[in-house]
Amino acid sequence: MTESTVNALVVHKWYARPVFFVADLEASLRFYIGKLGFTKKWHKVTVCQVDHGECEIILCQSDKRQDKSQLFVELTRAGVEDLRRQIAERSVPFDQTWWGYDCIRITDPDANELLFPLEE
């Protein structure tokens, strides 16, 4: 099957965004916007979306959900270098871990994890 045949068969484009449950939405916004450089796209009472390039995350304040999520974010080599610079400039806590690749792991205030692989 050629790429054009596959594209012709695609009727709907699926668009997905992860939802991170948080205890304090304002604290989470300070972390994602102030520490990681995200921008707020929309905000409705206890739910909002933050974006960084094509990475979009919905933050949902809930005292009933204590779920923890993990997001795997691939960056270009230049993107990884920019992330390292931001981590240093903004004193973002991180560690390195293995998740199929060597990764930078950043944990938000609610223990949701963002994993950035260091290999292309």
| pLDDT bracket for residue 65 (50, 70, 90) | confident
Amino acid at site 100: G
Decide if 88 is inside a domain: yes
Decide if 2 is inside a domain: no
- For position 92, which CATH number holds? 3.10.180.10
Residue with tokens 């949701």: 112
**Above 70 in pLDDT, residue 7?**
no
Decide if 9 is inside a domain: no
Decide if 8 is inside a domain: no
The average confidence (pLDDT) of the chain is 91
Decide if 70 is inside a domain: yes
Task: Report the predicted TM-score, pTM, of the whole model to 2 decimal places.
Answer: 0.83
Decide if 48 is inside a domain: yes
pLDDT tens per residue across span 101-115: 899 999 999 999 999
Q: Quick check: 36 and 86 in contact, CB under 8 A?
A: yes
Number of domains into which the chain is organized? 1
Decide if 22 is inside a domain: yes
pLDDT tens per residue across span 11-45: 777 788 999 999 999 999 999 999 999 999 999 99
CA atoms of 17 and 36, how far apart (whole Å) = 18
- Residue numbers of the domain that contains 28: 15-117
